[in-house]
Amino acid sequence: MLSHLPRAITLFVLASSIAASSAQAGDYPSSPVKIIAPFGAGGPTDVYTRDIAEELRKALHQTFYIENRPGAGTTIGTDMVAKADPDGYTLLMVSGTLVEHPSVPAKNLAELLALARAKPGTLNFGSSGPGSNYHMAAELLKNLTGIDIVHVPYKGSTGMRSDILSGQIQLLFDSVPTMAPLINSGMVRALGTSGTTRSATLPDVPTIAEAGVPDFHATLWVGFMAPARTPQPIVDLLNRTIIEILQRPDIKAAWEKQGATPLVMSQLEFQNFMAAEILKWAKVIKDNHIAMIQ
């Protein structure tokens, strides 16, 4: 069956499209804070978000809880937050490894690309849904290499992971923490990671750039956003608290063991990063004629 290529996970901090406001954080938070996760429960982004939510609870002495609202390429959950009251009590969690089934006769990325070119349209890849991180990473690979592999979308990550193990699908991108045990046991074969540097969890697996696609970079990341017009003092409080959490040596060490790298950004840096990501992936969507909601 085909093995997944592991990707690094980077966690960014909260940003918000906000207008200037003279409001103060005051006694915020004085009631539970809801974090909308526009993905299914149990995936790596969900796990790391829950870690942050628990640390926020400890730091701010109030409950931060996750509500999973998957569907329509994450637009259902995102739309809920966009329409929520801008009071800081509704936040959005925003966000792979490429592996293949061992039955695929390709031992590395170069051999896989050669096989895909020799037999266009015969290899398939799974994703957790149209427009998901895993889907878009594979589409970027198609864009940069010109290969023709077929997308098989699932309603969440569980189905795609089961089917890569059974050989129903042959390829997929997934997270390093999820795939590392399966790679190490030989159940899937890792072809490359999607970050700019090798994963400390899988040091023998080359990056996709190293393996022959130099412009490839598609890191799975996690961040938090708030509705427009959320008072600046509330955004500042959340931003400052999350940064303090991510800079703690115990958090950094625990996450790096799982293949994740805490990386903090200011609100402006995160907004600029998001703008660049939108431009990058919009081109992939346009070039590949991708329908984001199916």
Q: Which CATH number belongs to the domain containing residue 33 in this structure?
A: 3.40.190.150
Phi, psi angles (nearest 5°) of residue 252: -60, -45
Q: Is residue 30 part of a domain?
A: yes
Range of the domain at 246: 9-95+219-267
> What pLDDT band is residue 119 in, cutting at 50, 70 and 90?
very high
Task: Say if CB 146 and CB 152 are below 8 A apart.
Answer: no
Q: Is residue 67 part of a domain?
A: yes
pLDDT for 25 equals 57
% residues pLDDT > 90 (the chain) = 19
* pLDDT tens figures, 154-169: 887 788 889 999 889 9
> What pLDDT band is residue 276 in, cutting at 50, 70 and 90?
confident
Most confident of 2-6, 38-42, 47-51, 108-112: 108-112
**Helix 44-60 to helix 232-246 angle, to the nearest 10 degrees?**
110
Q: Is residue 189 part of a domain?
A: no
> What pLDDT band is residue 44 in, cutting at 50, 70 and 90?
low
Q: How many domains does the chain have?
A: 1
Q: Is residue 87 part of a domain?
A: yes
* pLDDT tens figures, 250-274: 988 887 777 677 777 777 888 787 7
Whether the pLDDT of residue 61 is over 90: the answer is: yes
Q: Is residue 70 part of a domain?
A: yes
B/e letters for 108-126, b = 16+ CB within 10 Å, e = fewer, are: ebeebbebbeeeeeebbbb
Which spans in 189-266 are helix H? 232-246, 249-257
Q: Is residue 177 part of a domain?
A: no
Which contiguous run of DSSP H or E holds residue 57? helix 44-60
The pTM of this model reads 0.67
Which residues 6+ apart lie within 8 Å of 223 measured at CB? Answer: 11, 12, 13, 14, 15, 93, 94, 95, 270
- Cα–Cα distance, 193 to 185 (Å, whole number): 18
pLDDT for 73 equals 60
Task: Say if CB 33 and CB 85 are below 8 A apart.
Answer: no
pLDDT for 9 equals 36
What is the mean pLDDT of the segment spanning 45-64?
88
Q: Is residue 16 part of a domain?
A: yes
What DSSP string describes 157-197? HHHHHHHHHHTSS-EEEEEHHHHHHHHHTTSSEEEEB-SSS
What is the mean pLDDT of the segment spanning 192-220?
84
Of 69, 110, 123, the closest CA to residue 92 belongs to 69
Q: Is residue 137 part of a domain?
A: no
pLDDT for 283 equals 81
